[in-house]
Amino acid sequence: MLMLGATKKRGPPKGYIDTLSDKLGRLEIVITRLAKLPNASGILDSIRTQDAITAGIVDSILDKQLHDAVPTSAVNPTQRRRLNSLQSLQLDVKPQIEELEDSSDEVTDSLGQLSIDENSNIRYHGKASGLHLITNNKRHEQGIWNFPAPGIWPASHELKKLTQKEVVRLSGAKQCLPDIQVQDKLIELYFSYVHPVIPIIHKGWFMTNFKAPENDERADELLPTLLLLCVFGVASRYSAVNNPESPALWAAGTLYIERAREIAHLDHPNSRLSSVQAFLLLTYRSVGLGDMKSAWMFLGHSVRMAEDLGLHRDVSHFHPNGKLRLSDVQVEARKRTWHGCVILDTYISSYIGRPTAIRAKDYDTRGCKEDEIEESEAWQPVEAHVTCSRDVCDLSDQDYPFNWAIPQTGHALSCFNQLSKLSALENKILESCYSIKEKTNSEAAQMSLHELHKSVDKWSIDLPRHLKFQASSQRLPPPNVLTLHTAFHCTLILLHRPFVDIPSHYPSHQIMTMAANSITSIVNSLNHRHDFLNKAPSLLIYHVFTAGITHCFNLKYPDIEPVARQNLTKTMEALKAMVITWPAAGRAYDMLTDVYDIQQNQSLDEITDNGPRGIKRMMMESTEQQANMGINFSDVFPCPTEPLLPQVPTRHPGVSTLNNELSDITSEGPFTGSYYMGMQQPTMLPGHNLASSAFYNITPKLWNKLLHFSSFPQTGISLQQMVMFGSNPSQGTLLRAGNFLSEELPIRLAHRCVELNTLPNNLSQMPSIQRVLGWYAHSFDELINFPPPQLSAEVRNQLFAQSNKIGKLPEAKPNLAQLEDEHTPGPVNPIQNNGSKNRRIPIEYRYHAETPNYEWPIEVGEYNENFTRLLEGIKKRHDTVVPTIAQGVLEYKKHRQHIGRGVDTDIQSFLDRFYMSRIGIRFLIGQHIALNSINQPKDYVGIICKSTNVRDVCDEAIDNARFIAEDHYALFKPPQVQLICPEDLTISYVPGHLNHIVFEIIKNSLRAVIERFGVDAEDQMPPIKVIVAAGNEDITIKISDEGGGIPRSAIPLIWTYMYTTMEGKGLDPEFEQSGSDYKAPMAGLGYGLPLSRLYARYFGGDLRLISMEGYGTDVYIHLNRLSSSAEPLQ
């Protein structure tokens, strides 16, 4: 079943041959499709002239005439062996044909779809135009259309087109240009404060042409005056202010913009790359001035002109010959300009609430190259030394002081790429959540929320390390990086704001509030630590305004109103600091001030809404309130719950991050004080490590609750109690069970949280361990904050009519999760009467309690439904706990430079306890969810099948294991598995547990046999035998293979975690981004056997192994007949 030694390898090294074959296959397809074009001869002749080898390849392909066939090089070597033995070549190769043809479509896509005008400007025409179907036209040459402007084609003597030089002369732009010294300072300001945020201009190209001789007749073609004026107009906003105290709108740079608009008006029929860039700068400036009408129009011009030039298409698809050959600088300028359109389009559409003009599916432009000089340039604020008014800029020694003297790497291009990706996600959010016909209260909207949240989450995880922001750092990153992070938090607000008042799996109000707090914290740092907001990007305004709107929204909730008011004040201070440079901030300030004043004058007595559930843990109801509710659960259900102080979540509960590297998390631990919604940063508990979780921040108050609950032992539940529910339990019975779980599950989760935080040898500090700790703490917090049902006195009496027969719990119960001998051989549940720790638990516990026949009110059903939905969310959150813990142990071994297989004894003991507890928690949750389902299968009570057919379960496990082996080893026929089992043999069991155990053992046996005999000996592989026998106490399943066996010295190791005979394996590198869709590998984690034994022992069974080295292995699975067992489970 398991074997030692290196895995056999066949064939050439991976990479070299496959890559070469793949390229040849793609080349064949491309040449074949080119040959079908009407003008193919000219194109192919130009390719042949490159060199003799290329000409030979082209001629060879054409000679073979592979128009309808697939090149053999397109099939990978592993598949070729299988395909040769089958008669299904066409079926298996068809997907590869489609893939290669799709890639060739990208290369030939632009043929017949590009044109040039009389000025050699490129124009793009999509396939909807139909031009690609009539390329046998005199105006089409070498794949390019020739479309001059009207007046030239068709010719006209009455239409005269202005040249760029004439346009500039008529606009009077040259007369308003400042002295060359002032121009130098304005350009320096532009590349210091504007360019790092939207680097749409290639700096090297701009500076080279700016310094070109003035008498050059082509000066306006090299560096268009329109673009230069827009640069000056935006940069003027960062010059020194003559009277910073004046309340009047500062009109610096207005004359430059007026002349630029005049040029744009005279030259509007012509699409030029520089014109698109100019319109984007006009948009950027208009946003800052609050002129959103002009910004909307400028952006519309930009996008239409950019699409006219084909900026939305990947230039690598364009024809490589003739006058359309683009330089590297031109290619980069095109990409930057288009992504600038994407960013500003999403930004403005969000700002004023309108549909976007660009859809993600309509462009394929690649990201900017990040090896340009602008990426590695040091960034540092520069002094203006120039003062601008409406009409003129002059040199000056005056400047507003700032406190930012340390140069930093700007990372302008990588930040720009990430902002474009985030904008594409925000575009999807606007389409899914804010479209007119989209309804946020639908099931489709909930699914969309889930997918979009995962996408935004993945973006934050994939963010390059140099762009991550640690709030505890004494040095803030450059403004472009901070703007990227405010954009991220603003995106979270936009995503979750529509779902604040709608029940969903995400705590949208908490996420929205924390995102707003993060934006406020960032701008507050810019304002007070560096006094820099007067130089801030104009894009920051909407982010800050959105945060302010969120704070205003939270003012109506008394429990968080003081904190919201404090954060709103900081937000308004930040806006006020930006007013001179960007008057739009003043407009936002005035709007928030009106709301602030209204809310301040409103009496708290008029506010009755306590806010959405989860924003705060309310004080426990008073005795009078409980009497009105008709129930006091503490009387009948003794619970470790005590009144909690008002508590506000201090973390994005649903936003997963990795290694505490997101913008609002420090690498050392929890948030800084500014991230605690106005509360003080918690101090470390004495003797306690306050671990910061990548999912959920654990505050001192929450840790106190965890410690309090962990002081109570967990309670065992027998299978007999579970079966007593029957297939159709009443709502009252389910309510009793639900309340038991609402108390029992927090106890179990608290035990695990405390243990996860106190693991030896710094294992608890590993990022993945803290991630799991966050999941458990999050689930604990949700359970203890879940509100009790509001029931009348009559319903309460009916519900607890049988309570006197049950009585209260004994004062001490053994805590099975803390048994010290769980990892020792033998069943986990032998309870011995030799001490308080191992005393037997009375079965007269309150998990199942009979309730009378009664017509339960709708409130009972609603409570059961809501609690079940909560459990479903918790169960899904914990889906990947096992591989995440495995990842944490791998991190621990790497951290300690651990050599060898397996883990230390103390960690082995912890993993046994943890995974056994996880099995119990998921069993309880799954059972309750199933009991609340409408239609339960026959013979099922929850997830327990009273008559589980052992043969059927084994058949299913065998089929699944053989499928995995076939897929992993690319086999046509994996080893046979012979099953000998009575057809009518049944047992009361959880079929999923049994399936998991059998599947893991069969999978290992298949691997051992295949690797012993080799993948080429499919017909010689001996079968694996599965024999099932029924006894009085146990049902035993014996699985025998001839996979070579295991050395006697290695037998003890196979029960340890992380021990595997699969060399070089581990978790998939994409595991962190895959969430619950993670696919289990064939082998390599070393968890299969230990976990299978825990599953068997959970129900009082066992798993044993006997191996004969050189022959094979026998595994015995013992299943305890539990149908009438009153023995408590863990």
* CATH number reported for the structural domain that contains residue 467 in this entry: 1.25.40
Instruction: Check if the beta carbon of residue 67 is closer than 8 Å to that of residue 36.
Output: yes
Q: Which of 269-283, 595-609, 893-907, 1080-1094 has the highest mean pLDDT?
A: 269-283
For residue 438, what pLDDT is reported? Answer: 77
1020 and 961 within one domain: yes
Average pLDDT rounded to a whole number, residues 744-758: 91
573 and 480 within one domain: yes
For residue 60, what pLDDT is reported? Answer: 73
Nearest CA to 568 out of 593, 543, 587 is that of 593
**pLDDT at position 394 over 50:** yes
**pLDDT at position 683 over 50:** no
Rg over alpha carbons for the chain, rounded to the nearest Å, is 35
What tens digit of pLDDT does each residue of 454-467 get? 899 889 888 998 89
530 and 460 within one domain: yes
What tens digit of pLDDT does each residue of 325-376 get? 678 898 999 999 999 999 999 999 999 999 999 988 889 899 999 988 889 9
For residue 642, what pLDDT is reported? Answer: 29
pTM above 0.85, yes or no: no
Q: Of 1003, 1011, 1025, 1118, which is the active-site residue?
A: 1003
Within-domain flag for 501? yes
The residue that leads in pLDDT, 177 or 760, is 177
Of 80-84, 207-211, 556-560, 626-630, the poorest mean pLDDT is in 626-630
**pLDDT at position 1081 over 90:** no
Task: Report the C-alpha gap between 964 and 1040 in whole angstroms.
Answer: 19
For residue 655, what pLDDT is reported? Answer: 32
320 and 246 within one domain: yes
How many CA atoms, within 13 angstroms, populate the side-chain half-sphere of residue 806?
A: 20
Within-domain flag for 667? no
**pLDDT at position 944 over 50:** yes
Catalytic status, residue 262? no
For residue 1042, what pLDDT is reported? Answer: 94
44: DSSP letter? H
Within-domain flag for 1090? yes
**pLDDT at position 1070 over 50:** no
* pLDDT grade for 1061, boundaries at 50, 70 and 90: low
Q: Of 332, 1000, 1011, 1042, which is the active-site residue?
A: 1000
The residue that leads in pLDDT, 994 or 504, is 994
Catalytic status, residue 866? no
Within-domain flag for 725? yes
Phi-psi map region of 942: left, alpha, beta (phi>0 left; psi -120 to 50 alpha)? left
Of 521-530, 902-911, 925-934, 1020-1029, the poorest mean pLDDT is in 902-911
* pLDDT grade for 689, boundaries at 50, 70 and 90: very low
**pLDDT at position 151 over 90:** no
Domain count, the chain: 5
The amino acid sitting at 214 is E
791 and 745 within one domain: yes
Instruction: Please give the distance of CA 371 from its chain centroid, rounded to a whole number.
Output: 27
For residue 25, what pLDDT is reported? Answer: 63
Average pLDDT rounded to a whole number, residues 145-154: 63
What tens digit of pLDDT does each residue of 242-299 get? 655 555 678 888 889 998 888 888 877 688 899 999 999 999 999 999 999 999 999 9
For residue 193, what pLDDT is reported? Answer: 93
Instruction: Quote the tokens at residue 190.
Output: 């532009």
**pLDDT at position 624 over 60:** no
What tens digit of pLDDT does each residue of 478-489 get? 899 999 999 999
Buried b (16+ CB within 10 A) or exposed e, 519-553: bbbbbbbbbeebebbbbbbbbbbbbbbbbbbbbbb
391 and 423 within one domain: no
Of 624-628, 884-888, 992-996, the poorest mean pLDDT is in 624-628
Per the prediction, the chain carries an average pLDDT of 74
Angle between helices 412-433 and 443-462 (to 10 degrees): 170
Instruction: Quote the tokens at residue 783.
Output: 């359970």
**pLDDT at position 758 over 80:** yes
Given 3-state DSSP classes, what are the helix, strand and coil percentages for the chain, each rounded to the nearest 5? Answer: 50, 5, 40
Average pLDDT rounded to a whole number, residues 641-668: 29
What tens digit of pLDDT does each residue of 954-995 get? 999 999 899 888 888 877 788 999 999 999 999 988 998 999
For residue 736, what pLDDT is reported? Answer: 83
Instruction: Check if the beta carbon of residue 846 is closer than 8 Å to that of residue 736.
Output: yes
Q: Of 377, 1004, 1025, 1118, which is the active-site residue?
A: 1004
* pLDDT grade for 1114, boundaries at 50, 70 and 90: very high
The end-to-end CA distance of the chain, in Å, is: 30
For residue 627, what pLDDT is reported? Answer: 28
**pLDDT at position 732 over 60:** yes
Within-domain flag for 1065? yes
For residue 17, what pLDDT is reported? Answer: 55
Catalytic status, residue 1000? yes
For residue 665, what pLDDT is reported? Answer: 25
77 and 35 within one domain: yes
Of 239-253, 930-944, 1012-1026, 1061-1075, the poorest mean pLDDT is in 1061-1075
**pLDDT at position 846 over 80:** no
Catalytic status, residue 1004? yes
* CATH number reported for the structural domain that contains residue 718 in this entry: 1.20.140.20
For residue 942, what pLDDT is reported? Answer: 86
Given 585, 604, 623, the domain boundary residue is: 604
* pLDDT grade for 573, boundaries at 50, 70 and 90: very high
Average pLDDT rounded to a whole number, residues 527-542: 85
477 and 338 within one domain: no
For residue 552, what pLDDT is reported? Answer: 92
Q: Of 996, 1118, 1120, 1127, which is the active-site residue?
A: 996
**pLDDT at position 36 over 80:** no
Within-domain flag for 147? no
719 and 794 within one domain: yes
Average pLDDT rounded to a whole number, residues 183-189: 92
For residue 424, what pLDDT is reported? Answer: 95
What tens digit of pLDDT does each residue of 912-938 get? 889 899 999 999 999 889 888 877 788
**pLDDT at position 414 over 90:** yes
Given 577, 604, 631, the domain boundary residue is: 604
574 and 474 within one domain: yes
For residue 643, what pLDDT is reported? Answer: 27
Instruction: Check if the beta carbon of residue 1113 is closer than 8 Å to that of residue 1.
Output: yes
Given 56, 79, 108, the domain boundary residue is: 108
For residue 559, what pLDDT is reported? Answer: 77
For residue 847, what pLDDT is reported? Answer: 62
525 and 595 within one domain: yes
For residue 495, what pLDDT is reported? Answer: 93
Task: Report the C-alpha gap between 965 and 956 in whole angstroms.
Answer: 14
Of 296-300, 434-438, 752-756, the poorest mean pLDDT is in 434-438
DSSP codes of every residue in 372-408:
SHHHH-EE------EEE-SS-EEE-S--------S-E
Name the H helices within 979-1116.
991-1013, 1071-1074, 1088-1098
For residue 294, what pLDDT is reported? Answer: 93
**pLDDT at position 745 over 50:** yes
751 and 810 within one domain: yes
Within-domain flag for 559? yes
For residue 470, what pLDDT is reported? Answer: 64
* pLDDT grade for 423, boundaries at 50, 70 and 90: very high
Range of the domain at 86: 16-108
The residue that leads in pLDDT, 1048 or 825, is 1048
Instruction: Check if the beta carbon of residue 1010 is closer than 8 Å to that of residue 971.
Output: yes
Nearest CA to 757 out of 817, 710, 822 is that of 710
**pLDDT at position 51 over 80:** no
Q: Which helix (H) or strand (E) holds 1037?
A: strand 1034-1041
**pLDDT at position 310 over 90:** no
* CATH number reported for the structural domain that contains residue 1035 in this entry: 3.30.565.10
Instruction: Check if the beta carbon of residue 717 is closer than 8 Å to that of residue 847.
Output: yes
Within-domain flag for 752? yes
